[in-house]
């Protein structure tokens, strides 16, 4: 497969090449592939796309129906001229596994198609996807506005790790639109939020966030890990960039790390070239090439692959890409069962006298309830929290006696999971930061799996019996 050329890849080793000649192909690759299986002219549904995009025909080398695992780091050149042409990108094809791999390519194309983006990039983890998405347009002296209910690791990345590199931040209440707008400064280069807050499952009004971002000519980055493209596609609501921890729902089995960045392809980087020089001005590491020109709508992910991934190397392994593809093919089926079970658990907890509060937007008294019904008419939110009556002692007592649910630091597994955020996943936060993220000693996070609901309710009931 001539992936290197087709995917608009750039030379990882800074050899001179005519980027303008190959950049034109990249932005349209995903759209072309999506059309390839629409031979009748009819638009295919999500469940069909999740099985076929990226491999509409059997593998050309073997005729295999399943996507093969191309477990290789490097690729052989036929002769010196062929090698020179590959490095000069005059000949299409792969050069090195840190940049492209045919198994990875199918995974990237499929996620991008499901999200409605123009191109995708798979990386080694969700954390790498978030880091790269921000790093691609922000540097020392720049500013980012982020919601206060994002994943604790991302919160730490923005408020500490990036802050140490000179990137300032303002953390805002995602429901306070006046506060969001007031936080934007001349050097603000991105708004960042999640579809659902982590861990309390608050719902983000993506349309409103996008409206504010675009009014100030800055992009909106949305982490859709908890939403999944099956339930919501943020690009359809105005988001410019979507990121995923593919480790979660996409993989679905807690077996492989991976992350994905999807480029919506609609943000005009050149409209304010001074604000976004990495994409809209000549790149000195690529002989003055302008990514917005050579890669068009796919400029954002193209630069990450060509520069950041080249230089920092958080590459997804072909095997992990293949494992995540297996998960992706059953995403819709699993998510339906996740949501079905979760809503029944929410109802159970709402009626439990030992529960102080259920933090789920399906609850009629929840501040996001109406927005939830609008964005998720079929339900959503299988990862959420509740506050047990008492404090840390009662929370630990409940968790330590909870059968079936595994106590671990992951979510969105087919198996049900539980954790105490304040002392685990969010333990790096200060008491003030925990308060800001609405996490208390009594808070328990559940990730509802696809087990039989009666068994889950029985396990919850038994665990509560130990709480006095």
pLDDT tens readout for residues 292-328: 998 999 999 999 998 999 999 999 999 999 999 999 9
pLDDT at residue 90, as a whole number: 74
Average pLDDT (139-146) is 98
Residue 415 covered by a domain = yes
Residue 83 shares a structural domain with residue 123: yes
Last residue of a domain, one of 328, 354, 372: 328
Q: Looking at residue 355, which CATH number applies to its domain?
A: 3.90.1150.10
Q: Beta-carbon neighbour count of residue 87 at 10 Å? A: 18
Q: Clarify whether residues 236 and 344 are in a common domain.
A: no
Task: State whether 338 and 389 are in the same domain.
Answer: yes
Which pLDDT value is given to residue 16? 29
CATH of residue 54? 3.40.640.10
3-state secondary structure of 178: helix
Residues 289 and 348 in one domain: no
For residue 188, is it within any domain?
no
Q: Averaged over 85-109, what is the pLDDT?
A: 86
Residue 103 has pLDDT above 60, yes or no: yes
- Measured CA to CA, the distance from residue 43 to residue 182 in angstroms comes to 42
Residues 6 or more apart in contact with residue 162 via CB below 8 angstroms: 134, 138, 144, 169
pLDDT at residue 41, as a whole number: 67
| Residue 390 tokens, joined | 């008492």
64 with 120, same domain: the answer is yes
Residue 167 lies in a domain: no
The verdict on 323 and 337 lying in the same domain is no
Tell me the pLDDT of the chain averaged across its residues. Answer: 90
Per-residue pLDDT, 426: 84
Task: Give pLDDT tens digits for 423-439.
Answer: 998 888 788 888 877 89
Question: What mean pLDDT comes out for the span 454-464?
Answer: 98
pLDDT at 37: 47
Do residues 362 and 283 share a domain?
no
pLDDT class of 230 with cuts at 50, 70, 90? very high
In a domain, 389, yes or no: yes
In this structure, the answer to whether residues 436 and 319 fall within a common structural domain is no
Q: What is the pLDDT, as a whole number, of residue 88? A: 67
| Residues 25 and 121 placed together within one structural domain of the fold | yes
Residue pair 263/115 in contact by the 8 Å Cβ criterion: no
d(CA 304, CA 165): 19
Residue that terminates a domain, selected from 305, 328, 351: 328
pLDDT (average), residues 369-392:
96
- Residue 342 forms part of a structural domain: yes
The whole-number average pLDDT for the span 67-82 is 94
pLDDT average, residue stretch 355-366: 97
Contacts of range 159-165, beta carbons closer than 8 Å, 24 or more positions apart: 159/433, 162/134, 162/138, 165/139, 165/140
| 187 found inside a domain | no
Domain that holds residue 377: 332-464
- For position 379, what pLDDT does the model report? 95
Check if the beta carbon of residue 448 is closer than 8 Å to that of residue 382.
yes
- Would the pLDDT of 2 be above 60? no
Number of domains the chain contains: 2
Q: Is residue 93 part of a domain?
A: yes
User: Can you give the pLDDT at residue 14?
Assistant: 30
Does 103 fall in a domain? yes
Query: 107 and 232: one domain?
Result: yes
Instruction: Give the pLDDT band (50/70/90) at residue 288.
Output: confident
pLDDT in tens, 20-74: 333 333 434 444 444 444 455 688 999 999 999 988 888 888 889 999 999 999 9
If phi over 0 gives left and psi between -120 and 50 gives alpha, with beta otherwise, what is residue 116?
Answer: left
What confidence tier does 85 reach under pLDDT thresholds 50, 70, 90? confident
- Answer yes or no: do 20 and 81 share one domain: yes
Q: Are residues 247 and 389 in the same domain?
A: no
Last residue of a domain, one of 328, 350, 379: 328
């Amino acid at each position: 497969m001539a992936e290197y050329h087709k995917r608009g890849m750039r030379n990882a080793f800074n050899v001179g090449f005519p980027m303008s000649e190959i950049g034109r192909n990249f932005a349209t690759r995903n759209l072309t592939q999506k059309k390839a299986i629409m031979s009748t002219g009819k638009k295919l549904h999500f469940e069909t796309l999740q099985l076929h995009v990226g491999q509409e025909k059997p593998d050309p080398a073997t005729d295999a129906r399943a996507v093969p695992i191309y477990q290789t780091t490097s690729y052989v050149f036929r002769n010196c001229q062929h090698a020179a042409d590959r490095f000069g990108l005059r000949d299409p094809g792969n050069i090195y596994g840190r940049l492209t791999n045919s198994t990875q390519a199918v995974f990237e194309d499929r996620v991008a198609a499901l999200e409605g983006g123009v191109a995708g990039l798979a990386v080694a983890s969700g954390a790498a996807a978030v880091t790269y998405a921000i790093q691609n347009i922000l540097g020392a002296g720049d500013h980012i506005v982020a919601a206060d209910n994002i994943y604790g690791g991302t919160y730490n990345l923005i408020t500490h790790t990036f802050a140490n590199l000179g990137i300032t931040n303002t953390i805002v209440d995602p429901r306070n639109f006046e506060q969001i707008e007031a936080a934007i400064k001349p050097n603000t280069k991105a708004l960042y939020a999640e579809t659902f807050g982590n861990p309390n499952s608050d719902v983000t009004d993506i349309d409103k966030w996008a409206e504010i971002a675009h009014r100030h000519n800055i992009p909106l980055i949305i982490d859709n890990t908890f939403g999944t493209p099956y339930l919501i596609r943020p690009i359809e609501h105005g988001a410019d960039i979507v990121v995923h921890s593919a480790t979660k729902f996409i993989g679905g089995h807690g077996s492989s790390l991976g992350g994905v960045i999807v480029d919506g392809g609609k943000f005009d980087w050149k409209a304010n070239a001074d604000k976004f020089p990495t994409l809209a001005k000549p790149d000195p590491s690529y002989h003055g090439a302008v990514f917005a020109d050579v890669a068009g709508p796919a400029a954002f992910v193209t630069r990450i692959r060509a520069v950041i991934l080249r230089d920092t190397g958080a590459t997804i392994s072909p095997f992990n890409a293949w494992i995540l593809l297996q998960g992706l093919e059953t995403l819709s089926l699993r998510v339906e069962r996740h949501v079905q079970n979760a809503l029944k658990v929410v109802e159970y907890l709402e009626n439990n006298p030992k529960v102080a509060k259920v933090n789920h937007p399906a609850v009629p008294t929840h501040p996001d309830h109406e927005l939830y019904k609008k964005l998720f008419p079929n339900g959503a939110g299988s990862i959420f929290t509740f506050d047990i009556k008492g404090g840390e002692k009662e929370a630990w007592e409940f968790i330590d006696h909870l059968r079936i649910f595994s106590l671990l630091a992951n979510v969105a597994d087919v198996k049900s999971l539980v954790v105490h955020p304040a002392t685990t996943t969010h333990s790096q936060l200060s008491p003030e930061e925990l308060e800001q993220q609405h996490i208390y000693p009594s808070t328990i996070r559940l990730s509802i799996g696809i087990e039989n609901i009666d068994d889950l309710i029985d396990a919850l009931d038994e665990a509560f019996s130990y709480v006095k």
